[in-house]
């Protein structure tokens, strides 16, 4: 085989390898967009609350990476509140298995008219597969109760777990044992998400 022809074959194989790597890398790239819904609060891009947040474009994220977004939350009500955050409307639904949305909210009570800065952190699992893009909604709401406080006594303790949560666990809206005060993320179900995300995190806190 002529030397020039052999060199061509090597160059061609190398080019195919580069293309494969690029395509595979692109296939592993994830884009995400979140619609932001609110109840009793306003969410803004700036401290003076002139630029409302309705959509968060997280941009391009690689598996194993995370991205921070800073927003400002305004208490629009007439009473002090705590903040509650939840996610819903995942598309595709299995996307929620590979990502987590966190924040740096420290359970501070927010007074009427007060603006509170929070950082939202979207983290992508190293093991994500079969998803090229996804979307979900973020709900930020104000609550006069401390997150995890089912009976409203200002404490997150064994009473909330053993009495109220135990009775309501596994229920949904319309069931006789459904308790909206135990449905911390407001998705209409009292389930493991409420226990793991709220009671386990906030247990022992006081208002």
CATH number of the domain where residue 151 is located? 1.10.1330.10
Domain membership flag for residue 125: yes
pLDDT recorded at residue 8: 56
Per-residue pLDDT tens digits for 46-67:
999 999 999 999 988 889 999 9
Same domain, residue pair 136 and 48: yes
Same domain, residue pair 139 and 39: yes
Residues 59/63/66/69 CA torsion (nearest 10 deg): 20
Q: Name the domain boundary from 90, 111, 144.
A: 144
Rounded Cα–Cα distance for residues 160 and 207 (Å): 14
Rounded Cα–Cα distance for residues 76 and 166 (Å): 33
Same domain, residue pair 139 and 115: yes
Domain membership flag for residue 132: yes
Same domain, residue pair 43 and 89: yes
**Cβ neighbours of residue 154 closer than 8 Å, sequence gap 6 or more:** 146, 206, 207
Rounded Cα–Cα distance for residues 131 and 134 (Å): 7
Same domain, residue pair 89 and 170: no
Residues 37/75/51/66 CA torsion (nearest 10 deg): -60
CATH number of the domain where residue 36 is located? 2.60.40
Q: How many domains does the chain have?
A: 2
Per-residue pLDDT tens digits for 147-182:
778 888 878 888 888 888 889 999 988 899 998 888
Tens digit of pLDDT at every position of the chain (207 positions) = 555 555 556 555 555 554 544 444 434 455 689 999 999 999 999 999 999 999 999 988 889 999 999 999 999 999 999 998 888 899 999 998 899 888 998 888 899 999 999 999 999 999 988 888 899 999 998 988 877 788 888 788 888 888 888 899 999 888 999 988 888 777 788 888 788 766 666 677 676
pTM for the whole structure? 0.72
Q: Name the domain boundary from 144, 163, 194.
A: 144
Q: Strands 30-39 and 133-143: what pairing?
A: parallel
Q: Domain of residue 185: give its range.
A: 146-207
Rounded Cα–Cα distance for residues 195 and 157 (Å): 12
Same domain, residue pair 61 and 156: no
Same domain, residue pair 104 and 155: no
Same domain, residue pair 122 and 55: yes
Work out the widest C-alpha separation in the chain, in whole angstroms.
87
Q: Name the domain boundary from 121, 144, 167.
A: 144
Bridge partners, residue 59, by sequence: 32
Same domain, residue pair 151 and 123: no
**Cβ neighbours of residue 88 closer than 8 Å, sequence gap 6 or more:** 136, 137, 139, 185, 187
């Amino acid at each position: 085989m002529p030397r020039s022809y052999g060199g061509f074959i090597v160059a061609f194989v190398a080019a195919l390898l580069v293309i494969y790597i690029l395509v595979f890398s692109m296939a592993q790239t994830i884009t995400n967009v979140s619609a932001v819904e609110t109840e009793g609060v306003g969410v803004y891009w700036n401290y003076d609350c002139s630029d409302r947040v309705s959509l968060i474009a997280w941009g391009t994220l690689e598996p194993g990476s995370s991205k921070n977004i800073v927003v400002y939350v305004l208490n629009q009500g007439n009473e002090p509140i705590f903040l509650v955050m939840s996610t819903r409307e995942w598309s595709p639904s299995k996307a929620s298995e590979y990502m987590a949305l966190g924040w740096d909210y420290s359970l501070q009570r927010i007074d009427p008219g007060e603006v509170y800065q929070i950082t939202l952190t979207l983290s992508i699992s190293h093991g994500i597969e079969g998803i090229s893009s996804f979307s979900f909604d973020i709900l930020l709401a104000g609550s006069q109760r401390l997150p995890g406080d089912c009976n409203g006594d200002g404490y997150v303790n064994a009473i909330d777990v053993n009495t109220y949560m135990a009775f309501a666990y596994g229920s949904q809206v319309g069931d006789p044992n459904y308790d909206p005060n135990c449905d911390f993320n407001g998705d209409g179900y009292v389930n493991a998400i409420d226990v793991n995300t709220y009671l386990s995190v906030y247990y022992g806190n006081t208002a």
